[in-house]
Amino acid sequence: MVLYFAYGSNMLLSQIGKRLKNPDLSPCCVVYAEDRTLIFPRKSDKQKGGVASIEEKKDDKVFGAVFEITDEELKKLDSFEGYKKGCKNNRYEHREIELKKEDGTIIRAITYVANKKGIYLPSQYYMNKIIRGATECKLPETYIQKLKRIKTKVD
């Protein structure tokens, strides 16, 4: 089994469940990545704007959900995220990062970090997916409010 940290639209249970063909998938815990911030460095026509990644930023936090998935499910996610081991032109790369639970317990999980660095506004459509996922996964209300304040482009 693999611990996978979702911080973007993959927190939306219907989306990740469909992608992994596992409609009963649910997060095992809420966590945050310390000294990281949410960014939108890649453009997606499908999502109508910028799509999420994380980068280092002192004194910030990115909350998300950890899912316990199989190696085969991780391979399915890889195809959706544009990752292929050994490929030089991946859209995203695997990163194992340290995360904290609300009680301070530290865990490590795999996540995706974008290769391309640009600055794009996410669409309201895409941000709504992230916000619905954050709500479904029971992220802290203060963080959900922070997500709602992210500037979006007009769809």
State residue 99 phi and psi, 5-degree precision: -130, 155
Nearest by Cα to 34 from 7, 61, 73: 61
Tell me, letter by letter, the H, E, C secondary structure of 89-142.
CCCEEEEEEEEEECCCCEEEEEEEEECCCCCCCCEHHHHHHHHHHHHHCCCCHH
**What residues are annotated to the active site?**
81
Strand 92-101 versus strand 106-114 pairing type = antiparallel
Task: State the sign of the Cα–Cα–Cα–Cα dihedral 28, 29, 32, 38.
Answer: positive
d(CA 93, CA 83): 6
